[in-house]
Amino acid sequence: MSTVISTADSDRLRPSSGEDTGPAVVSLRGAVATVGGRPVLRGVDLTVRPGEVVALLGANGSGKSTTVKSVIGSVPLEQGSLELFGRPLRRFRDWHRIGYVPQRTTAAGGVPATVREVVSTGRLPQHGLLPFRRKDRDAVDRALASVGMLDRAGDGVTNLSGGQHQRVLIARALVGLPDLLIMDEPMAGVDVDSQQVLADILRSEVERGCAVLLVLHELGPLEPLIDRAVVLRDGCVAHDGPPPRGVGQHALPGHDHVHPHADDHHRTTQGLLA
């Protein structure tokens, strides 16, 4: 499927999804998953190609968050298959290639920590329990600078606003220079300035060649960056193609205008969060 680019964005140098850019970053096929005894995914197919920005849209309970959590290995598939960077999930070990920003959580999960300490945990997949090196510290500084939080590096995360928490989580995901960035509802509960920071960050990551998978309620300032929209309905793919232009997710058929995120509660097993 060809990449969709608006006239205003025609000068962006992006590889089209029709080009031969190697194996898909994410290849989810026939995904079936149950959460808390409730069927959530009912045969979802999802492909994300190198350098592509894909938005997952749909009503609450449609399976958006469960889909991305299946991709990172924290919700097991009962049926179907998943390949990451061309490798089946059971053989995939390069979790440092994936940056993940979870939905609506505080940066330290209630544990006293500084901004720098939280972002530093994003380097753990690359060096394990070895001491931090100069290049690790430099990477943390770059990630903090990219989200405009370097001047708050020594502050406790408990003193941050919601938008600042989100920026710290994004920096933690970016510190390892991932090839795939997954963000679950990154725009929820953040101010307009933080939304624009997020759009600028994603633009830089895409220019670097990073693939991006986003769970969104509405496209907002991210709309010009989206190549493809995958709309879920009742755990199935209802649409996979050009994103809706000029409308938010609320305009999609079946949206219920309630935001409890019913598909978020599950048990963690293996994968990125293990």
Are the CB atoms for 199 and 225 separated by under 8 Å?
Answer: yes
Q: In angstroms, rounded to a whole number, what is the distance separating the alpha carbons of residues 181 and 211?
A: 6
Model confidence band, residue 58 (pLDDT cutoffs 50, 70, 90) = very high
The answer, yes or no, to whether residue 265 has pLDDT greater than 60, is no
Structure tokens at 101: 């920003």
The CATH H-level (homologous superfamily) assignment of domain 7-104+179-251 is P-loop containing nucleotide triphosphate hydrolases (3.40.50.300)
Q: Where are the domains of the chain?
A: 7-104+179-251
Please state, as a whole number, how many other Cβ atoms lie within 10 Å of the Cβ of residue 207. 12
Are the CB atoms for 201 and 171 separated by under 8 Å?
Answer: no
Enumerate residues 6+ apart whose C-beta is below 8 A from 134.
Answer: none
The answer, yes or no, to whether residue 258 has pLDDT greater than 50, is no
CA distances from 272 to 64, 96, 97, 147 (A): 18, 9, 10, 23
Structure tokens at 95: 């979790």
Q: What is the pLDDT of residues 60-108, one digit of tens each?
A: 889 999 999 999 999 999 999 999 999 999 999 999 999 999 886 655 5
Section 13-31 average pLDDT: 72
Q: Which residue has the higher pLDDT, 165 or 111?
A: 165
CA nearest to 79, candidates 104, 116, 42? 42
Query: DSSP states of 194-206 as a string?
Result: HHHHHHHHHHHHH
Model confidence band, residue 175 (pLDDT cutoffs 50, 70, 90) = very high
Q: What pLDDT is attached to residue 272? A: 58
Q: In angstroms, rounded to a whole number, what is the distance separating the alpha carbons of residues 150 and 145?
A: 5
Section 173-189 average pLDDT: 91
Please state, as a whole number, how many other Cβ atoms lie within 10 Å of the Cβ of residue 132. 12
The answer, yes or no, to whether residue 253 has pLDDT greater than 60, is no
pTM above 0.85, yes or no: no
Q: In what order do the strands lie in the sheet with 87-88?
A: 38-48, 26-35, 79-84, 87-88
Enumerate residues 6+ apart whose C-beta is below 8 A from 221.
Answer: 195, 196, 198, 199
The answer, yes or no, to whether residue 243 has pLDDT greater than 90, is no
The answer, yes or no, to whether residue 6 has pLDDT greater than 80, is no
Count, residues in the chain = 274
Q: What pLDDT is attached to residue 246? A: 53
